[in-house]
Amino acid sequence: MDAFNPTEEHAALRRMVREFTEREVDPQAEEYDRSEAFNIGLFRKLGELGLLGITVDPEYGGVGMDAVAATIVHEELSAADPGFCLAYLAHSMLFANNLYQNGNDEQRNRLLPGVCSGELIAGMAMSEPAVGTDVLGMKTVAVRDGDAYVLNGSKMWITNGAISDTELGDVFLVYAKTGDRGPQSVSLFIVEKDNPGLELGQKIKGKLGMRASTTAELVFTDCRVPVTDLVGSEGEAVAHMMRNLEIERITLAAMSTGIARRCVEVMNRYAGERKSFNKLIRNFGQIQRHIAESYAEYMAGRSYLYNTAAHLALDAGGHRIDSDAVKLYCATMAKNVADRAIQVLGGYGYVAEYQVERLWRDAKLIEIGGGTIEAHQKNITRDLARFETLR
């Protein structure tokens, strides 16, 4: 065992996911990227493998593994199809792990078995058309009306918001304001697709990357949500959000390392096959620099990633500075490694055949989604102000 597979259970998980990825995920990736469609059938196979509830207790249909296991799955899936993996992250981390950590037993028993099996496809709705990182600036409101809350507003950039051009995802965790008390103003609600007043807005087409995950707008017009679908108490949602952000950012960093690994593999293989001036291009210093720096940066990011994941307890916070920092580093690292891979392959890197142009496009999103790199820089600097020396 090693830092990347600390137990035999982790090593077996990696073998299973890698084999599944090579057999099932790799062959379909280009097609679904090109068509900007979500491969629902393949997604549900993740449920058959027990992956959709990777961090959820078996009592609720999951497999009860840890942050390292979640990191392994995201890394392996993203080496083939980051867009497909992003749909997995929204479902398994942003919804399933979030509800498992913050919901009550009735909510868990009612929803998590279907989410873990893949019968239900889930997502999380926080961002809005004019609000991203500034969570407290959200405009969606929820007003208590007897035995229900009435939601009005809209959410934007929602992964799994639509599973086809016309069909909503099945269930969402939705953040909305229930007052004007600063961080205690935001509450979290379960909203199912048949709740009156929930409609599918625009489905986002023409994305630079992550095209195999669907992105949509959700519109709430006097949307009635039973009081029993409030997660926790009013005003607790920012705490819920912060609790779940650590594993979200770690798994996004894991996606970056998966992208980087595949790019290093592709450029290394190509450099051992392609000749120029009667020599393999791996003999040229310029190519050596691209490959060597890419491998070193990939391994540095991967080592930091698994160190952070190993120290993250899913039932306790306290690792925000490193979850921010590892995503900050790995997101840009993956984009740069993919860029070098395109350069090593030249014209072939610029077309779909060798995959790296798609990975370059997909990598960019991780500098934006789940917290922008600027937000991480702000958070890290603020957190570092508490320390005179580093551990």
DSSP string covering 60-99, please? GTS----HHHHHHHHHHHHTT-HHHHHHHHIIIIIIIIHH
List 36, 76, 128, 248, catalytic entry: 248
**Active site annotation includes 248:** yes
- Measured at the CA of 167, the angle between CA 163 and CA 171, to 5 degrees, comes to 70
- Bridge-based pairing of strands 186-192 and 171-177 is antiparallel
Q: Angle at which helices 320-345 and 356-365 pack, to 10 degrees?
A: 150
Which among 240, 138, 123, 241 has a CA at the least distance from the CA of 193? 123
Beta bridge partners of 10: none
Q: How far apart are CA 52 and CA 44, in angstroms?
A: 9
Which among 161, 160, 171 has a CA at the least distance from the CA of 195? 171
Tokens for 168? 């909503």
Catalytic residues: 248
